Structure 1
């Protein structure tokens, strides 16, 4: 929690030059230059990227062979089963591939595992589905890179498997990749480290669609790919950023009935939605079914051509999300209580037999954000701990897990998020080993616990035109972080807890007064003084409610002001 605030410094004359050359706000120019976008040409192409700048899908290893096999299925009338995953990335990538196969005239079906019955990854139940439907090809999306036994079982049954996955491939003792015996494996992690495309499952599915159909006939799928890309927290650079920008254009045109229905139940229809609106309004409703119910209903939503069915399923997802929120709030508050009564070192590791397995990932993410430490949250049942890990930018969590795999039953993921299973008897040894690994990495001089601030401003600098311009350099997320601004000596006129542990404040500086919100901050900052003065780091935003729009500061962190 105690991060050092570091204000980025930029040459003022150069900022003025970029401002004049591109006709943008000096604050926007400063943020872009801070991020290495430091010429007028680069600024223009960053603000308005072209589809022609997307990477050729055939640079992905295995793509040529996968496309050839899918075309053969189309020509010979073969049936195909798409094996997805139960999160937003898995369900959107499944839907993208199904739409693509249907356009090719391929008879297809899908299988989405149940989190509690089947667990994560390529499951042999999909082989049964394929055999029942007479399918000779299974295509996995967002899973399968570690499914050695299941892939071999499919081949023994005369079924080819194409694995498309973005999770880290396994390596042998010599550092060489270990891959399942699949017909083709499409995974960006097999590319050279300096040339990888950091795509999620939905991004890979979109690349397959483009390779098969061409970009013009795949444009309508960018909205689904945008949802998967935002949900999976991959770097929002290059192709990922372009996918989201084009996807948001489709979503805001209400091009897809299923997404319009989700916007309706989330009460975000009738206004422009950003990546933030998807993250907090739409994606939780998509993820909720996979956390506490059946994620296959999400794919039914995205594939349905019936308006009544679309809105019925959307309401089911909304109800699932409300239930998920109640469960999550209980687990989150219990983790906060635990942390008050115990010390912790380089990482946080908590477990309980009472916690719902479906929400441990969300809680781990929140705790990692608050305490700025890699966090492991486990649900324990019958001597087995099933958990989720969330990391900080300086630590590769999947690599860390590979260094203590002797304690684990299963694990998988990527640099910032992972899932894992272990016997509870190994928990203590695993925790000690992980503390040691993380400590060695984070004590490096390169891993400073700093909060980088783009610019210092006053409240009078915050305006609707500024926020509209900042939106053009989005979407924001990993790799293209939301701009962080700082302001000193803000008077706290009032504060209160609202919603699910959120902190709402009214702040004044000079003659300017603005509302502020700190998500999940109420219990952390409940002792702030009112009246009193704080320094705050925030992102400026527009709050839309009941048809009205107002400026709002989204607080990221704060501290008492000093004279």
Structure 2
């Protein structure tokens, strides 16, 4: 393995400021400033004016969101926001994954001559929105997905009254998620028509927390206004100022008072998504949990149900990954530039997760279909070098009868085809995609670190956060770290046993996760990244070269600097 420093930056501040396109001075000023200068979003003002016009005409309000974490948090933002100013919603529909992605014609037709708002969908709902307009509806689209285009690249838009989609009309920042747009929409509604006696500051904090969770859950870039959403959301969650529903989830996962965006991404978002992946009504139930503003006996029970579904989802995902590996070998796709699998044993709600795991493992874009006969639906995940939406759009232009429906963006897609067209689709995808050039023998890192100042480095990392897509956690290299022996109690401790004197402690179900000890800090090496086996392979040395990210581990009021290890080598 060869290790290469991929940046010229010498400090965390310099690294992050470059990623954000700021000078170090501009970035430092941004860190000092409380709040954010909200950016102008084209046609947001018109959408709010349209909303108030419909309200004054006593039109009923119908809202259609999406089934994922972004769609559920969007639904909760709209529900809590309009409840706060006593505006009723006739119907707020959070679809099931089995409904497929996007506004349905059946829902659009029942709106009648009222107001229909789509959030986190709608930019491609040409047929459904046309049906709504034919019934006399006023339609507002709040979406962040890419629009359809003609062969010459001209954008095709639905016949909505107002469209807010930064990917269509934007020259400042275009990578909001649906929840971010929902927050900005409600915030502008609050600004324009709220009663003078209403203090909505606390409500805004509740709403921005949901926007932050949705932002991380939807994997949009951690830049510009998205950083403000997530940073504020983390602050609110740490002091338990979120909605009662979100607070019940925080209690369940035993969230620390030093939360990071990773807590949203790896603890909360999977839990929010899990119910809807396994049960048709799951997304609706979880959205209801997120929308709850008053504590009651059912909240914790519903949060527990979500957690149980998430554990089921984890087990089912492992089984599905094993099935995917077998099918890849059986269909001889292990060396192909695009992997396409279809099997009735793939649960539709897990298809996106499995596609992501396969894409990461085989380094190629992947689509997983759940089904083998008739109309089958799939989810795709891509690699950085392959624009999934553009690829499907090109195929759709060249072969109009191959794909029934599709949507998505560069990194992910949803798709529907007839099973009889599966092999044709696979052939065309593998023709048009290319193999990623990767070198598995090179590990890249960002910064050189010194273990003697690791606590101050941890503080700087936290100060410059949050981290996510486009601004990932900095990877450090620490040289010549000497392990320090401590008293370690056996995992199978029984009365009368004595502690062992060791420089590490083995943990986890497989006893392969290992925590190393050093002077003033610890290092956690997870089993999935190598763990104790990797340490054994280099001869269990007492001095290490360590590559990983930094965090402050909080436990029972004690704060310990910690390296989350990604690679280790013996110091030569």
TM-score normalized by the length of structure 2: 0.82
Match of 1:284 among 249, 270, 273: 270
- Rounded to whole Å, the distance in 2 between the matches of 1:494 and 1:338 is 40
State whether structure 2 residue 291 is matched by structure 1 residue 303: yes
- Rounded to whole Å, the distance in 2 between the matches of 1:498 and 1:265 is 21
Q: How many Å apart are 1:519 and its aligned residue?
A: 6.8
- Rounded to whole Å, the distance in 1 between the matches of 2:158 and 2:537 is 58
Aligned partner of 2:468 in structure 1 is 477
Unaligned runs of 5+ residues in structure 1 are: 16-26
- Rounded to whole Å, the distance in 2 between the matches of 1:262 and 1:36 is 31
Equivalent position SS for 2:434: helix
- Rounded to whole Å, the distance in 2 between the matches of 1:119 and 1:38 is 40
- Rounded to whole Å, the distance in 2 between the matches of 1:502 and 1:409 is 48
Q: How many Å apart are 1:451 and its aligned residue?
A: 5.7
- Residues 415-494 of structure 1 mapped to structure 2, 5 A cutoff: 415-439=410-434, 442=436, 452-457=444-449, 460-461=451-452, 463-487=454-478
- Greater CA deviation, 279-288 or 326-335? 326-335
Equivalent position SS for 1:382: coil
Alignment check: 8 A CA contact 1:495 1:530 kept: no
The verdict on how the C-alpha distance between 1:344 and 1:535 changes in structure 2, with shifts beyond 3 A counting, is: farther
Q: How many Å apart are 1:214 and its aligned residue?
A: 2.6
Aligned partner of 2:212 in structure 1 is 226
Q: How many Å apart are 1:561 and its aligned residue?
A: 6.1
Aligned partner of 1:94 in structure 2 is 75
The verdict on how the C-alpha distance between 1:260 and 1:103 changes in structure 2, with shifts beyond 3 A counting, is: closer
- Greater CA deviation, 212-221 or 138-147? 212-221
- Rounded to whole Å, the distance in 2 between the matches of 1:422 and 1:120 is 14
The verdict on how the C-alpha distance between 1:28 and 1:299 changes in structure 2, with shifts beyond 3 A counting, is: same
TM-score normalized by the length of structure 1: 0.84
The verdict on how the C-alpha distance between 1:190 and 1:5 changes in structure 2, with shifts beyond 3 A counting, is: farther
Aligned partner of 2:244 in structure 1 is 257
For residues 393-442 of structure 1, the C-alpha deviation after alignment (integer angstroms, 9 at most, x for no partner) is: 232221122122233222111111211222333333322322332218x5
Aligned partner of 1:140 in structure 2 is 118
Alignment check: 8 A CA contact 1:258 1:310 kept: yes
- Rounded to whole Å, the distance in 1 between the matches of 2:55 and 2:20 is 46
Match of 1:240 among 226, 237, 244: 226
Aligned residue pairs, count = 530
Aligned partner of 2:97 in structure 1 is 115
The verdict on how the C-alpha distance between 1:87 and 1:525 changes in structure 2, with shifts beyond 3 A counting, is: farther
Please say which structure displays the higher CA radius of gyration.
2
Equivalent position SS for 1:332: helix
The verdict on how the C-alpha distance between 1:528 and 1:364 changes in structure 2, with shifts beyond 3 A counting, is: farther
- Greater CA deviation, 523-532 or 406-415? 523-532
Q: How many Å apart are 1:242 and its aligned residue?
A: 0.8
Alignment check: 8 A CA contact 2:20 2:223 kept: no
Match of 2:539 among 516, 526, 531: 531
Aligned partner of 1:22 in structure 2 is none
- Rounded to whole Å, the distance in 1 between the matches of 2:444 and 2:166 is 30
- Rounded to whole Å, the distance in 1 between the matches of 2:150 and 2:527 is 42
- Rounded to whole Å, the distance in 1 between the matches of 2:362 and 2:148 is 30
- Rounded to whole Å, the distance in 1 between the matches of 2:160 and 2:236 is 35
Alignment check: 8 A CA contact 1:502 1:517 kept: no
- Residues 313-332 of structure 1 mapped to structure 2, 5 A cutoff: 313-332=302-321
- Rounded to whole Å, the distance in 1 between the matches of 2:84 and 2:69 is 23
For residues 128-147 of structure 1, the C-alpha deviation after alignment (integer angstroms, 9 at most, x for no partner) is: 6646xxx7111010011111
Alignment check: 8 A CA contact 1:373 1:392 kept: yes
Q: How many Å apart are 1:90 and its aligned residue?
A: 0.3
Match of 1:274 among 256, 260, 281: 260
- Residues 52-451 of structure 1 mapped to structure 2, 5 A cutoff: 52-56=36-40, 59-60=41-42, 62-108=43-89, 109-116=91-98, 118-127=99-108, 130=111, 136-191=114-169, 195-214=172-191, 217=201, 218-255=204-241, 256-268=243-255, 271-293=257-279, 294=281, 295-308=283-296, 309-336=298-325, 343-405=334-396, 406=399, 407-439=402-434, 442=436
Alignment check: 8 A CA contact 1:504 1:515 kept: no
Equivalent position SS for 1:349: strand
Alignment check: 8 A CA contact 1:502 1:521 kept: no
Match of 1:504 among 498, 501, 513: 513
Unaligned runs of 5+ residues in structure 2 are: 193-199, 484-502
Match of 1:7 among 5, 8, 25: 5
Q: How many Å apart are 1:538 and its aligned residue?
A: 1.6
- Rounded to whole Å, the distance in 2 between the matches of 1:136 and 1:169 is 25
Alignment check: 8 A CA contact 2:116 2:140 kept: yes
